Amino acid sequence: MPPSHDSQHPMEELQALDYVRAAAFAVLLVWTLAELVKRRNRHQEAAAAGYGADVVSAQQQGGAASIVAFCNASITLSHIGFSVLGVWKRQAVSPGLVFQSSSWFLATLFLLYHKHEGAAGVVVSSNWPPVLVSWWFFSFLSESLLALLHLLCLFDSATAVVDFASLPFCAVICLVVVAMRLSKANQKELEQPLLLRENVDDSSRDRFSSSGWWSRLTFRWLNPVFEKGHKVRLELEHIPSVPQSEMAEQSYALLQETLHKQKPEPIPLREAIICAVWTPLVTNAVFAG
């Protein structure tokens, strides 16, 4: 009796899933090899130049990285164990499960290699490798889709157990990676100085103070900035800084001097500030029209 039309759909779906997992393993393998070659060349260039890049951050060497490594290893062991169990009981294993197990095993090896580089003091990026991040999020999305199809009884396969078991670990990995990325962004924002260093050697730093009254009145002192903006995209370092006389320390010293001059008779802080800055404010108003 020929197989029914309904029985052919599960087989086609399983074959499609096997093809997807085989393609994912091929992409992961090629990307990982390319990343290894790229890192090797970067290490050789750094050693030849006598300097290094950022060493892996302490956050990745702490609890967050341990959680990611534990979840990654747990998923790998579950896939390998399920594959061995299938061979032992049914003398057969799904090709898709083999590719999935190989992908997680490769990702775990590369993760351990990345952590070993940081522990050994080798120069590496302070971020997770893009190949690992892409694989983690792809796995989370694919496992979520498969779990949803299993719950809706739209798709059935022998790997349903390992798919459900892997989903929480994938979710934890993605949450930790996102949390580390947000924490790093906040840390970078906190470490950014509020005031510029006064010993920065920049020819355009005091351009306003060195310009004449006509240049200030016609804003000709900004012409170099406009000319540079026509050629390249302006960055923060291209914008002239405030003059030395307007720096925080100079303004504070002027305020203290005004307070000392007015010390014989009490004066409110608001009036002292007005007395200290009224001259530059009037000058700026005149030049600004």
In a domain, 202, yes or no: no
Q: Are 199 and 247 in contact (CB under 8 A)?
A: no
Residues 48, 114, single domain; the answer is yes
Residues 107, 145, single domain; the answer is yes
Q: Are 59 and 183 in contact (CB under 8 A)?
A: yes
In a domain, 3, yes or no: no
Residues 179, 240, single domain; the answer is no
Token pair belonging to 213: 């009254």
Residues 177, 212, single domain; the answer is no
Q: Are 169 and 75 in contact (CB under 8 A)?
A: yes
Residues 106, 176, single domain; the answer is yes
Token pair belonging to 109: 């090896």
Domain range spanning residue 255? 207-288
In a domain, 244, yes or no: yes
Number of domains in the chain: 2
Which one of 164, 191, 218 terminates a domain? 191
In a domain, 6, yes or no: no
Per-residue model confidence (pLDDT) at position 235 = 72
In a domain, 238, yes or no: yes
Q: Nearest to residue 126, comparing CAs of 58, 77, 177?
A: 58
pLDDT in tens, the chain (289 residues): 444 444 445 556 667 778 888 999 999 999 999 999 988 887 777 666 654 444 444 445 567 888 888 999 999 999 888 888 878 887 777 888 889 999 999 999 999 888 877 654 444 445 788 999 999 999 999 988 888 888 877 665 666 778 888 889 999 999 998 888 887 766 666 655 555 444 444 444 456 566 666 666 667 767 777 777 777 777 776 676 666 666 677 777 777 777 676 655 666 777 777 777 777 777 777 766 5
**Three-class DSSP category at 68:** helix
Pairwise CA distance, residues 90 & 18, whole Å: 18
Residues 185, 56, single domain; the answer is yes
Place of tokens 């499609």: 16
Dihedral sign (CA 254, 257, 262, 267): positive
Residues 33, 114, single domain; the answer is yes
Residues 25, 145, single domain; the answer is yes
Per-residue model confidence (pLDDT) at position 115 = 80
Pairwise CA distance, residues 124 & 130, whole Å: 13
Pairwise CA distance, residues 209 & 242, whole Å: 9
Per-residue model confidence (pLDDT) at position 5 = 46
Residues 101, 29, single domain; the answer is yes
**Three-class DSSP category at 221:** helix
Pairwise CA distance, residues 122 & 211, whole Å: 49
Per-residue model confidence (pLDDT) at position 33 = 93
In a domain, 253, yes or no: yes
Which one of 128, 162, 191 terminates a domain? 191
Q: Check residue 177 and give left, alpha or beta (phi > 0: left; psi -120 to 50: alpha).
A: alpha
Residues 91, 27, single domain; the answer is yes
Count CB atoms within 10 A of the CB of residue 32.
20
Pairwise CA distance, residues 13 & 33, whole Å: 30
In a domain, 4, yes or no: no
pTM of the model: 0.58
Give me the count of residues in the chain. 289
Per-residue model confidence (pLDDT) at position 104 = 93
Beta-carbon contacts of 170 under 8 Å, excluding residues fewer than 6 positions away, are 71, 75, 136, 139, 140, 143
In a domain, 201, yes or no: no
DSSP 8-state code for residue 242: P
Alpha helices in the chain (DSSP H): 5-49, 63-90, 95-119, 130-151, 160-191, 207-210, 213-218, 223-231, 248-261, 269-288
Residues 96, 177, single domain; the answer is yes
Which one of 191, 216, 246 terminates a domain? 191
Residues 213, 187, single domain; the answer is no
CA-CA distances (angstroms) from residue 131 to 31, 107, 277? 7, 9, 56
